Amino acid sequence: MKKAILLATLLLGFFVNGWATNGGPEVDAGATAWMITSTALVLLMVPGLAMFYGGLVRSKNVLGTMMHSFAAMGVMSVLWVLVGYSMCFGESVLGGWFGWNNDYVFLNGIDETVMEGGVPELVFSMFQGKFAIITPALLAGAFAERVKFKGYLVFIALWGIIVYNPLCHWVWAEDGFLFNMGADGAIDFAGGTVVHISAGVSGLVAAIYLGARRGYPLRQLRPNNLVMTMMGVGLLWVGWFGFNAGSSVSSGIATAQALTATQVAGATGALAWAIIELFHHGKATALGFASGILAGLVAVTPAAGVVQPLGAMALAVAASLVCYGALMLKDKLGYDDSLDAFGIHGVGGIVGAVFLSFFIRKSWMENAAALAGGEWTVWNQFGIQVVAVGIAIAYSIVLTIALIWIVEKLFKLKSTDEEEMMGLDRAYHGERGYGMMNPN
């Protein structure tokens, strides 16, 4: 009897193994568990962002602004299943403009696919889909308090399809041209170029087009709830572990490296910003600390996979300095990037993507040199990074201008004066965020 059970167990084991190897690589439970966790963490960043942005606007716009983030969860998630994953990770079509694969439509063809690292492709797709959600949500910070809800929905849908998906394909798909540029590709570990630069630059374009909010910059447009903003930035930091450490699509050394870089960059950025403020204004503000966390995290996003902790810290300090300068310059130039989508995400992303070249770990450089068939220097990579960033900026600017023009013509994007005065909450949602002093 014992023998029979043993035999049966052996046979069963053989059968299961054989079946798994025939169907592709086995599922790696550890890597998959971490990727599912990362997916949830990146989704957590979206309500975090809603709180961060929601606290920064005036109370009559708090719901409308939070809805910009939440609406992106709805619109972009659905679009991702429909065409997003296919356009990003399908094979290049139309000269590599974007990707396409009929099997990916509605994610039909990846139901049972396991990727090389042992992660089910559905998990990878859901993880990547979160980046497509948060990017337009970040962008909306540039033109808070003055866009129609309907126009915004159409805008982010089109922006996702025409700007985000192609960029994502170029940078992260195996046959994307930026992925293959130079010896070992343009480095954009977790989305400095794809996410932060594209969102920041497009946001700036939209902010300039829509014009300043009524009363800006003469009147103070004060944040309604900095407590909510602080909690929001806290959630963003936590979520960023999924954002960066999940981008290794594994659970191992690369994950540990990215996780460490993320932590030290957030902390260093915050400290740097606080110190700058102490010297400049004599007071270290809460919003400044929050901005520093963001600047540090944004800068390390493209670099998390290739830099060591010291490099991450250096990038964070640089980002805080440059972003702080960018915000002061904004006041001088007078454009209304309301919640500093460009000032922090755009500028921080550029700083990170370009200057990471000077902090790349040795093993990566040696690998690149081997691939280049001899030598590969920091300056070679610097050149690649500058070109990739330049392409992302130029593409985002041109396509965003075109999109805004179309949406404004067909659906109207800009709020009327009266709607802006009334606030987004009442004008588009018929609700109020707070019951302040309202006896009923």
Partner 1 sequence: MKLITAIIREYQLDQVRESLIQAGISRITVSRVSGNGNQVNTEVYRGKEFVPNLTPKMRIEIAVNDEFAEVTIDAIIKAAKSHNGHEGEVGDGKIFVTPLEQVIRIRTEERGSSAI
- What residue ranges bind partner 1 (CB under 8 A)? 60, 214-215, 219, 418, 421-423, 426, 429-432, 436-440
Nearer to partner 1, 345 or 414 (CB): 414
Count of Cβ atoms closer than 10 Å to residue 399 Cβ: 19
- In single-letter form, the type of residue at position 289 comes to F
From the CB of 222, what's the least distance to partner 1, in Å?
Answer: 12
- In single-letter form, the type of residue at position 334 comes to G
Nearer to partner 1, 36 or 422 (CB): 422
Transcribe 120-180 into DSSP letters.
Answer: BHHHHHHHHHHHHHHHHHHHGGGGTTSB-HHHHHHHHHHHIIIIIHHHHHHHHSTT-TTTT
Residues 6+ apart with CB under 8 A from 323: 273, 291, 295, 343, 344, 347, 348, 351
From the CB of 69, what's the least distance to partner 1, in Å?
Answer: 20
From the CB of 70, what's the least distance to partner 1, in Å?
Answer: 16
CA dihedral 187→192→193→197, nearest 10 degrees, is -160
Nearer to partner 1, 174 or 431 (CB): 431
From the CB of 54, what's the least distance to partner 1, in Å?
Answer: 18
From the CB of 250, what's the least distance to partner 1, in Å?
Answer: 43
Nearer to partner 1, 60 or 345 (CB): 60
Residue 87: what are its φ and ψ, rounded to 5°? -70, -30
From the CB of 217, what's the least distance to partner 1, in Å?
Answer: 14
Nearer to partner 1, 334 or 439 (CB): 439
Helices marked H in 23-120: 29-56, 62-79, 85-89
Segment (H or E) for 424: helix 424-424
Residue 177: what are its φ and ψ, rounded to 5°? -75, -30
Chain position carrying tokens 């994307």: 176
Nearer to partner 1, 96 or 223 (CB): 223
